[in-house]
């Protein structure tokens, strides 16, 4: 099964993807996670991507499409993927269609996790991430990761100004994908402003799991 997770930053795409990985063993590809690792490792991609990410802007399409073209051909994707944070523009969505059709793997669904923007600003300013394993938590969980004991930190782009810019970028560049996938008959909208387990129950139901 090949799935695109759509939704504004902080809607809960990563949280839902982690649940699908844990329960269903699906292969999770997050372009944000790949880019953050590239920035940390100071690879040529990371060096180019950093300034866009720090400002909350999108990394240029050609860099992301090259990255995904390579990633999606790796063997762990053969049984299906959950794409989290990709595509984020119509150009990327069209490129994804070509990549999947070249691999003869159709897209099964585009799940939109729908959350009000003001809820997102509040959520993201208290979001914390584990430096070691990438688990997602909140400031209230304390400084240590509940999964691996690693150090929890606040992402550079989770400050309020950058979050507001990321939401504007989402509205302008990414929200047109809702119509794109509706037009392909693949769109499923899920109310993301609820407890993550309730959202997950809907995610599974919509995927027939």
Stretch of 50-58, 69-77, 112-120, 137-145 contacting ligand AMP, by CB under 6 A: 50-58
130 vs 201 by CB, closer to ligand AMP: 130
Cβ 92 to ligand AMP shortest distance, Å: 6
Q: Is 88 in the site for ligand AMP (CB under 6 A)?
A: yes
Pairing of strands 127-130, 27-30: unpaired
Judged by beta carbon, residue 4 or residue 104, the one nearer ligand AMP is 4
Largest CA distance in the chain: 46
Instruction: Report phi then psi at 29, rounded to 5.
Output: -120, 115
171 secondary structure, DSSP code: I
Pick between residue 85 and residue 208 the one whose CB is nearest to ligand AMP.
85
| 51/67 Cα distance (integer angstroms) | 18
Contact 60, 49 (CB under 8 A): no
- Rounded Cα distance, 103 and 118, in Å: 39
Active site residues: 13, 88, 127, 155, 166
Binding residue for ligand AMP, selected from 18, 26, 45, 64, defined by CB under 6 A = 64
Q: Which residues bind ligand AMP (CB under 6 A)?
A: 9, 31-32, 35, 52-53, 56-59, 64, 85-86, 88, 92, 157, 166
């Amino acid at each position: 099964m090949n799935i695109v997770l759509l939704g504004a930053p902080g809607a809960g795409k990563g949280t839902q993807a982690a649940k699908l990985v844990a329960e269903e063993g699906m292969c999770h590809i997050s372009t944000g996670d790949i880019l953050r690792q590239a920035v940390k490792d100071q690879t040529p991609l990371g060096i180019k991507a950093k300034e866009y990410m720090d400002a909350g802007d999108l990394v240029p399409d050609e860099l992301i499409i090259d990255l995904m073209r390579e990633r999606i051909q790796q063997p762990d994707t053969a049984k299906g993927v959950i794409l989290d944070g990709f595509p984020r523009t119509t150009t990327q969505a069209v490129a994804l269609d070509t990549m999947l059709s070249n691999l003869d793997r159709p897209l099964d669904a585009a799940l939109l996790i729908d959350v009000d923007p003001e809820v997102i600003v509040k959520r993201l300013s208290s979001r914390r991430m584990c430096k070691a394993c990438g688990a997602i938590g909140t400031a209230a969980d304390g400084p240590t990761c509940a999964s691996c004991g690693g150090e929890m930190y606040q992402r550079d782009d989770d400050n309020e100004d950058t979050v507001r810019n990321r939401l504007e970028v989402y509205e302008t560049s990414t929200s047109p994908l809702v119509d794109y996938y509706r037009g392909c008959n693949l769109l499923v909208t899920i109310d993301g402003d609820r407890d993550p387990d309730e959202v997950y129950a809907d995610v599974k139901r919509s995927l027939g799991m």
